[in-house]
Structure 1
């Protein structure tokens, strides 16, 4: 008796065709007077049905990238240099954003009070961008990987976006070597 190996909407690699696809429909083959299907076929939208041995499931990395390892978030800290009445024009009077990058709620990014007072809306936007930067990096890497797997079927504009995403990812992840020592 056969059991389904893949599920509907699962991303799989179709070996005979050499491309990635998604399971659209699971088609069991039944025989009269038998309670379970004899074989299972999978419709993947490529013109014919495939068996499980012609397909390979997508492998997932358990710790995929920096998003799993870190949790950047915005905390609001009390404004020590002005009271709430003096900064009523701020988006959140009496507080300012701190982007925390450590599990102990310290370490990260904060802005000087004078700079926040000069442009509070801009600083709030910067804080939201930084707090979501790791997720944006992961999306960019997945976009680049997905377009690379499309084997030239992607539009030129998406290929260019993937190239830029890979360049940004390399820039972020490549740590420069120490500066060369200079002789005195």
Structure 2
């Protein structure tokens, strides 16, 4: 049995042709009374269909997020009176991204003191980002072979794919990045 490795509108390198292209159609080859396709071909708009071993995707890595938590740390530098207007007086948010309650994201006290409500909202968003990433992955996965999506759903799926690509694509090293002087 075969499963689709690439999805519609994904940018792939077509090795036999030596160029980058977008997958225009995912073409599963079905056999009667079999629940999964026997083979999957990809139409990249280059005159013939390609198999998965003839294509390669941009180099990405799956980001392991784990279970992120929002903890409260004691504010050592201000008295309770000085931070009475904060949502949680005497503390500030710390996002822990490691199972041992260390590692993660913190905000400088001066920045927190400028707008504690905004920092609290950002902390809640950062803590929930692994769940949002998982939701985007599921959305893309569930609609992978759908061709008749309403325009609004197709746009959401496109945005989810863009987000996943931005999160999972490794940054280029300084040696391979294009020069900023080229103009």
Q: TM-score per shorter chain, which class? A: 0.5 to 0.7
Counting matched residue pairs gives 119
Residue 156 (structure 1) aligned to one of 129, 151, 156: 151
- Aligned residue number for residue 173 of structure 1: 168
Give the Cα separation in 2 of the matches to 1:180 and 1:116.
36
- Aligned residue number for residue 84 of structure 1: 80
- Aligned residue number for residue 118 of structure 1: 114
Contact 2:95 2:105 in 1 (8 A): yes
Looking at CA atoms only, which structure, 1 or 2, has the larger radius of gyration? 1
How far residue 153 of structure 1 moved from its aligned partner, in angstroms, is 2.5
Give the Cα separation in 1 of the matches to 2:148 and 2:79.
58
In the TM superposition, 1:60-79 aligns within 5 A as 70-79=66-75
- Aligned residue number for residue 135 of structure 1: 131
What secondary structure sits across from 1:132 in the alignment? Answer: helix
How far residue 148 of structure 1 moved from its aligned partner, in angstroms, is 2.3
Give the Cα separation in 1 of the matches to 2:34 and 2:104.
49
How far residue 73 of structure 1 moved from its aligned partner, in angstroms, is 0.9
- Aligned residue number for residue 41 of structure 1: none
Give the RMSD, CA atoms, in angstroms: 1.9
> Which 4+ runs in 1 deviate beyond 2 A?
53-56
Contact 1:101 1:107 in 2 (8 A): yes
Residues 121-140 of structure 1: CA deviation (Å, up to 9, x unaligned): 00000001101111101101
Give the Cα separation in 1 of the matches to 2:103 and 2:63.
17
Which gives a bigger RCO, structure 1 or 2 (Cα 8 Å, sep 6+)? 2
Residues 83-127 of structure 1: CA deviation (Å, up to 9, x unaligned): 222111100000000111111111111111111011000000000
- Aligned residue number for residue 105 of structure 1: 101
Give the Cα separation in 2 of the matches to 1:163 and 1:108.
30
- Aligned residue number for residue 21 of structure 2: none
- Aligned residue number for residue 95 of structure 1: 91
